[in-house]
Amino acid sequence: MNIEQGNNEREIADGVIYAKKKELLSNLKKVEEDLSSKQKTKVLFLRGAAIAASIGLLVWGYWYLNTKTWEEQLVAEHLNFYEVVSSTRGPGGENSMLLVEALNFYNDGKWKRAQTAFQQLYEQSQAAEYLLYQGVCALKSGEPLTAITLLEEFTDHVEEFPILKDGAAWYLALSYLQSKQVEKSKLILNAELKNSNEFSKEVEALLRQIEDRTTN
Amino acid sequence: MLKIYKDQNLVDRMHQGEDYVVELIYKKYRAPFLKWAIKNHDLGTEEAKNILQESIITLYINVTDKKLVNLKSSLFTYLCGIGKNKIREERRAESKNVYYSDNWMLLHVEDVDTLEELQEKERMFMQVEWALKEVGERCKKMIDLFYFNKKSLKEISGVMGYSNENSAKTAKLKCVNRIKSILATSTKM
């Protein structure tokens, strides 16, 4: 083997190593491409699944929030028939500015804030009328159990407010209905019907609707 | 202990000339290596991937050169050691603003003094690469085992099914001559 042949062999050896490294590197690049594309597919799939789940959740939430039970539907239908809270009333001993504020909140449909203001008025005056007003606010803000507590507390004082007696019974019946205590609601409504109160026709209609729902 | 045994098994398989092990190691250590390189050496993801690929090839070369026979630490630690050197080399080259080649890592740059020499070397290597594609699969395998995997003719005769060492030697000589012939033709062209 002469010098030229030796050099040639060395060059071939180096060239073989170069070619092999290049081939291995190219294989690793392909492996990397595969791994990256699989990861991208996985990310896209997860992103798609997350979007689908979000849409599903939104649809379910919309459906859930907009699907009322028949009891809630009946309450919503009859809730505004009778208005017990009146700006003309003011039992006395309370902060008149706070009363105006409470009535403004009530008239604006800000039930929670109105309830808080009526609670403060009750604490100041101890006038049971404000228990009734708080109860109505609680029912209108979707808290029938709180409404029941407040309205039942008011009924202990109802003899002091005969003019509010039927109204209190009406709201208590609606509160029971909203909280799915249908029998208790019917009991109150039937008692009101016997007493032939000022809104007998509305009571009769509500009772009939409850019967329709419970007998079918 | 079990982990090192498994790693040693990978090294042994590389020593046998199983190229596929390179891909296995890449898949096995890709995630921890990228995390290590990005966190400890402030590399971008693509840069870290390149360093890993080059490090694994260097690992394979170290095995074929018998610089690595028995692991004294985990393969990952060994790989990180190579990676650290690669990062240092790249940063040194960047700081000196040295242009080598897209394939500079594949070349033996320590053997050349000028850019012209480097380019000449790369041109010649590319001719060998082209010649290897021309000589056929069996001849290429023989040449790879001899020059890259540093297998003896006796080992090659066993792997490739030659009756004895002399038959393997004759076959290897024929392959080398075919490559020389292809190179000579391409040089004339």
Write out pLDDT tens, residues A9-32: 888 888 999 899 999 999 999 999
What average pLDDT score do residues B41-54 get? 93
pLDDT at B2 over 80: no
How far apart, in whole angstroms, are the C-alpha atoms of residue A167 and residue A199? 9
The answer for residues whose C-beta is within 8 angstroms of residue B85's C-beta and 6 or more apart is: none
B144 contacts in chain A (CB < 8 Å): 16, 20
**C-alpha distance from residue B176 to each of A106, B11, B132, B181 (Å):** 100, 29, 10, 9
One-letter amino acid of A77: E
**pLDDT category, B79, cuts 50, 70, 90?**
very high
- For residue B45, the distance in angstroms to the closest alpha carbon of chain A comes to 12
> Which of A9, A17, A31 is opposite residue B148, by nearest beta carbon?
A17
Look at A16 and B128 and tell me if their CB atoms are within 8 Å.
yes
B26 contacts in chain A (CB < 8 Å): 28, 31-32
Q: For residue range A79-99, what is the model confidence (pLDDT) as tens digits?
A: 877 777 765 556 665 667 888
The alpha carbon of residue A2 and the mean position of all alpha carbons in its chain are separated, in whole angstroms, by: 94
CB contact, 8 Å: A7 with chain B? Answer: no
Look at A12 and B26 and tell me if their CB atoms are within 8 Å.
no
Residues B22 and B57: beta-carbon distance below 8 Å:
yes
- For residue A49, the distance in angstroms to the closest alpha carbon of chain B comes to 25
How far apart, in whole angstroms, are the C-alpha atoms of residue B20 and residue A28? 10
Residue closest to A96 by CA, chosen among A121, A122, A128, A133: A121
How far apart, in whole angstroms, are the C-alpha atoms of residue B58 and residue B125? 18
Residue with more model confidence, A38 or A113: A113
pLDDT at B63 over 90: yes
What are A190's two structure tokens? Answer: 């039937």
Look at B22 and A27 and tell me if their CB atoms are within 8 Å.
yes
ipTM of the complex: 0.86
- For residue B84, the distance in angstroms to the closest alpha carbon of chain A comes to 19
- For residue B175, the distance in angstroms to the closest alpha carbon of chain A comes to 11
What is residue B100's three-state secondary structure? coil
Lowest mean pLDDT of A62-66, B58-62, B146-150, name the range: A62-66
How far apart, in whole angstroms, are the C-alpha atoms of residue A47 and residue A44? 5
CB contact, 8 Å: A40 with chain B? Answer: no
Residue closest to A85 by CA, chosen among A11, A139, A12: A139
| Per-residue pLDDT at B25 | 92
Residue of B125, B149, B182 to mutate, testing the A interface (most A Cβ within 10 Å of its Cβ):
B125
Look at B30 and A27 and tell me if their CB atoms are within 8 Å.
no
Look at B23 and A22 and tell me if their CB atoms are within 8 Å.
no
What are B88's two structure tokens? Answer: 């240092």
One-letter amino acid of A28: L
How far apart, in whole angstroms, are the C-alpha atoms of residue A17 and residue A11? 10
**Per-position DSSP letters for A28-85, written without gaps between them:** HHHHHHHHHHHHHHHHHHHHHHHHHHHHHHHHHHHHHHH---HHHHHHHHHTTS----
Residues A174 and A209: beta-carbon distance below 8 Å:
no
Q: Which residue of B has its CA nearest to A25?
A: B53
Q: CB contacts < 8 Å between A and B, how many? A: 79
**Architecture of the domain spanning B2-95:** Orthogonal Bundle (1.10)
- For residue A46, the distance in angstroms to the closest alpha carbon of chain B comes to 20
How far apart, in whole angstroms, are the C-alpha atoms of residue B53 and residue B50? 5
What average pLDDT score do residues A54-66 get? 77
What are A42's two structure tokens? Answer: 């996985």
Return residue ranges of chain B for CATH 1.10.1740.10. 2-95
In degrees, rounded to 5, the angle at the alpha carbon of residue A33 between the alpha carbons of residues B42 and B133 is 115
**pLDDT category, A132, cuts 50, 70, 90?**
very high
Residue with structure tokens 């449909």?
A109
Residues A154 and A135: beta-carbon distance below 8 Å:
yes
- For residue B95, the distance in angstroms to the closest alpha carbon of chain A comes to 25
How far apart, in whole angstroms, are the C-alpha atoms of residue B111 and residue B113? 7
Within 10 angstroms of residue B1's Cβ, the number of other Cβ atoms is 5
Please state the pTM of the whole predicted model: 0.56
| Per-residue pLDDT at A5 | 47
B59 contacts in chain A (CB < 8 Å): none
How far apart, in whole angstroms, are the C-alpha atoms of residue B111 and residue B28? 34
For helices B2-15 and B20-41, the axis angle rounded to 10 degrees is 120
A18 contacts in chain B (CB < 8 Å): 103, 106-107, 125, 128-129
